[in-house]
Amino acid sequence: MSRPVASIPAAPIAGSVADDSSRLSSRANLEAAGRQFEAVFDAMMLKSMRQAKLSDGLFDSKALDTFRDMQDQQVAKLMSEHAPIGIGKAMVDFLAKSQAGLQPPAPPAAAPADPVAGALPIVGDGS
């Protein structure tokens, strides 16, 4: 005969994700999340391209597939860091709109251009 299990209320874990929201207010953390999101997106794209192969290779095996998956994850990470396609930045910009503290720093105000200093000299027609 089985005994009924008494339900014990779960105590909240101190310092859990739900309690710690300070990491959400940092622009650097948001940009890191954007890069990670882009890496995941790139990995999914590479995996999809690999699945669309037209024929089986002569030397395909599970070991080779596993190695290729690990290689694709590294390639996706490097792509997101060095040649991003922009989806991570778009996500960061979208999420940063809702909080003023996450807005990118404003570019420095440029000094007004002097129309005379930047003008090209007028060259006569030589007559």
pLDDT at position 10 is: 55
Burial class (CB in 10 A: 0-12, 13-18, 19+), 32: middle
- Residues near 37 by beta carbon (within 8 Å), at least 6 away in sequence: 87, 88, 91
Query: Domain segments of the chain: what residues?
Result: 25-52+60-100
pLDDT at position 81 is: 83
Counted residue by residue, the chain has a size of 127
The tokens for 34 are: 């954007």
CA 117 to chain CA centroid, nearest Å? 43
* Tens-binned pLDDT, residue by residue, of the chain (127 aa): 555 555 555 555 555 545 555 665 678 888 888 888 889 988 888 888 887 876 667 777 888 888 888 988 888 888 888 888 888 888 888 888 877 666 666 666 665 555 555 555 566 665 5
Can you give the pTM of this predicted structure? 0.54
Q: First-to-last CA distance in the chain?
A: 116
